[in-house]
Amino acid sequence: MPTTSLPNGPIAAKQATDPHHAVWTLLEGVTDPEIPVVSLREMGVLRAVREGADGVLEVVITPTYSGCPAMEQMGDDVRAALAQAGLTARVVTQLAPAWSTEWMTPEGREKLRAYGIAPPPVGTGSACGHSVVQFATRNLAKSVRQTVACPQCGSENTTEISHFGSTACKALYKCLDCFEPFDYFKPY
């Protein structure tokens, strides 16, 4: 059986030429249990659709972080969406490489913002690899980009209230211009 290597980055919407195009389209309706406006593909959680060695359809997902309580829910949602179309699939959880906010698509980040959650800036996550240069660049980017823009009014005059917001992946921020509190999805 050929080894499937998964792309290490955001996964674009699949073209009609993809043999599993219909499956990708069905799965476009499966959203993140914690952020119902963003699909699993846009989150970068949905990694691949393939045929397993035994011919069974496999859907590969990588959880946003290990121990994420939403993980089982995601697997159930994927199976349910496919079952509605008469398809049986095995959900394969792949933990390596670890999920990163780098895998979020631009549409996903925009939907987060529209939903009221400040998205992580591109280039601040850990999926860029672990070379020294990339680490240095990332840390530099982090120190330069301390400001988190308010998703409501766009102001960068914001402050962190709590490093852990509604979930461990988010920090709670407050805008000092419009005074609205908001979640910031931390780079990971």
Query: Interface residues with Zn ion (CB under 5 A)?
Result: 150, 152-153, 155, 175, 177-178
CA distance 30 to 52: 21
Burial 169-186, CB ≥16 within 10 A → b, else e: bbbebebeeeeeebbbbb
Residue (110 or 180) nearer to Zn ion, CB: 180
Question: In whole angstroms, how close is the CB of 148 to Zn ion at the nearest point?
Answer: 11
Is residue 20 within 8 Å of residue 14, measured between CB atoms? yes
C-beta closer to Zn ion: residue 94 or 152: 152
Using the minimum distance from each CB to Zn ion, give the nearer residue, 41 or 113: 113
Nearest distance from C-beta of residue 107 to Zn ion, angstroms: 23
How far apart, in whole angstroms, are the C-alpha atoms of residue 105 and residue 100? 11
Q: Smallest distance, Å, CB 25 to Zn ion?
A: 36
Please tell me the distance from the alpha carbon of residue 23 to that of residue 188, in angstroms, as a whole number.
28
The distance of closest approach from Cβ of residue 114 to Zn ion in the complex, given in angstroms and rounded to an integer, is 14
Cα 38–chain centre separation: 8
Compare residues 13 and 178 and give the one whose CB is closer to Zn ion: 178
Q: From the CB of residue 187, how many other CB atoms can be counted at a distance below 10 Å?
A: 19
